[in-house]
Amino acid sequence: MVAQTDGQTRNRNAIEATDLAVTYADGTRAVRGIDLAVAEGECFGFLGPNGAGKTTVIKALVTLLGTTRGSVRINGFDPHDSPRAVRASIGYMAQETSVDETLTARENLAFACDLYGVSRGERADRIADVLELVGLEADADRQVGTFSGGMAKRLDVATALVHEPPIVFLDEPTTGLDPRSRNRLWEHVRAINDRGVTVFLTTQYLAEADALCDRIAVLQDGSIVATDTPAALKAAIGGDVLEVTLADPNDERRAEARRIARDVGFDPSAVEPTDDGISVTADRARSAAPDLLVALSEAGLAVTGFEVHSPTLDDVFLSLTGEDAGEEPTQQSRAAAVTPGGDR
């Protein structure tokens, strides 16, 4: 589904946040006044390094965490004034699987129906529908403790959908899954979005975000640094990307490689360090690659690999945040109360 076409948007937003801020009791400013507008039926990606504040934002949107400042509307409801209405109209899948391993898949879904108030006359059909959606019909009466990690994740998605919410929040839904299970779960996400469900997801698998999401927001240190379609974000990078892999790429060698790239004529802002060496983004990256490789070799820096490619979301992520997706946290999450702001 496409949320924007030729400048036209859907009739209304499913998710709205204005100047949303969260400060923890220890003074940590986890979220620093962000604005969000997610259209009905949109698949919206929320990306950022570990510790950037993604989970904090989701918890604030789904009523699990109070806010210090700002306003939020979910399906037209204010989470502060109408938390029950918000919870009834959303599905939420946390990073950790929350299904009960002592119950069967069907029993887990029946329990979710109880929580969400699904009428007894509708339960059998609702349960059958979501079991089919996530491909667990044949395993409906198996104890969940016998499930693989991928099966448990798919059941977790089903429990978030059994009450047919118009919005579903997915926080790192495929973390820890093998590639096959991950791809299968993304297929289910695409299927529910095709049904018209608004999807708000965080993920560190940027290729999947590129394929799934209509738009993406990038969060860094609690602030949104960019929001646009994946294609527009990649186009904004400009030029091709040259990835250079160095032998024993320690800090000193990476710094020397960056200096040499600048001496070859690349703009200093276009040269970034990576885990394996350096990355250069420029219109002339392809044509100037031989000159850079010769200069590195003459300086005694052994190059073990290089690649020139068009920009990807990984390049966008690195350019905007200065980090690779999945790096160690820059800001530790805190299980502390939110400091009251008084200016909601």
Residues 6 or more apart in contact with residue 180 via CB below 8 angstroms: 150
Summarize the confidence of residues 71-95 as an average pLDDT.
94
Average pLDDT over the chain reads 89
For residue range 127-177, what is the model confidence (pLDDT) as tens digits?
999 999 889 999 999 999 999 999 999 999 999 999 999 999 999 988 878
Per-residue pLDDT at 330 exceeds 80 = no
**What's the pLDDT band for 343 if we cut at 50, 70, 90?**
very low
Q: Which of 157, 15, 2, 163 is nearest to 77 (CA)?
A: 15
pLDDT digit string, tens, across residues 34-60: 999 999 999 999 999 989 999 999 999
The confidence score (pLDDT) of residue 299 equals 96
Note the pLDDT of residue 177.
81
Burial of 128 (0-12, 13-18, 19+ CB in 10 A): middle
Coil, strand or helix at 224: strand
Q: Which of 175, 204, 176, 210 is nearest to 190 (CA)?
A: 210
Tokens of 82: 């109408």
E strand intervals along the chain: 4-5, 8-9, 13-23, 29-39, 43-47, 69-74, 90-93, 167-171, 198-202, 215-220, 223-228, 240-246, 271-273, 277-282, 303-309
CATH of domain 4-234: 3.40.50.300
Q: Using DSSP, state whether 291 is helix, strand or coil.
A: helix
For residue 200, the cross-strand partners are: 44, 169
Beta strands in 180-299 (DSSP E): 198-202, 215-220, 223-228, 240-246, 271-273, 277-282
User: Residue 274 burial by CB count (10 A; 0-12/13-18/19+): exposed, middle or buried?
Assistant: middle
> In terms of Cα–Cα distance, which of 228, 313, 320 is closest to 37?
228
∠ CA 154-160-163 to the nearest 5 degrees? Answer: 130
- Residue linked to tokens 């919870």: 87
* Structural tokens at position 120: 């007894």
Residue 177 and residue 205: Cα distance in Å, rounded?
Answer: 11
C-beta separation of 184 from 17 below 8 A: no
**What is the pLDDT, as a whole number, of residue 274?**
93
pLDDT, residue 328, reads 37
pTM: 0.79
Neighbours of 65 (CB within 10 A): 19
Query: What would the two tokens of residue 228 be?
Result: 């646009």
Q: Is pLDDT at 25 greater than 70 in this prediction? A: yes
What 3-state DSSP class applies to 88?
helix
325 vs 287, more confident: 287
Confidence of residue 246 (pLDDT cuts 50, 70, 90): very high
In this prediction, residue 216 carries a pLDDT of 97
pLDDT (mean) for 306-330: 78
Long-range contacts of 73-78 (CB under 8 A, 24+ apart): 73/13, 73/15, 73/16, 73/17, 74/14, 74/15, 74/16, 74/167, 75/14, 75/166, 75/167, 76/12
pLDDT bucket at 288, cuts 50 / 70 / 90: very high
Give 325's pLDDT tier (boundaries 50, 70, 90).
Answer: low
**pLDDT: which is higher, 138 or 179:** 138
For the chain, percent of residues with pLDDT exceeding 70: 91
Tokens linked to 75: 């399906």
Contact 205, 182 (CB under 8 A): yes
Question: If you average pLDDT over residues 280-309, what whole number do you get?
Answer: 94
Q: What was the pLDDT predicted at 268?
A: 92
Structure tokens belonging to residue 3? 């949320």
More confident residue, 287 or 178: 287
13-24 residue pLDDT tens: 999 999 999 999
- Percent pLDDT > 90 in the chain is 74
Q: Is the pLDDT of residue 7 over 80?
A: no
What pLDDT, in 10s, does the model give residues 214-242? 999 999 999 999 999 999 999 898 889 99
Q: Is the pLDDT of residue 342 over 90?
A: no
Per-domain residue ranges for the chain? 4-234, 239-310
CATH number of this structure's domain 239-310: 3.30.70.270
Predicted local confidence at residue 11, as pLDDT = 58
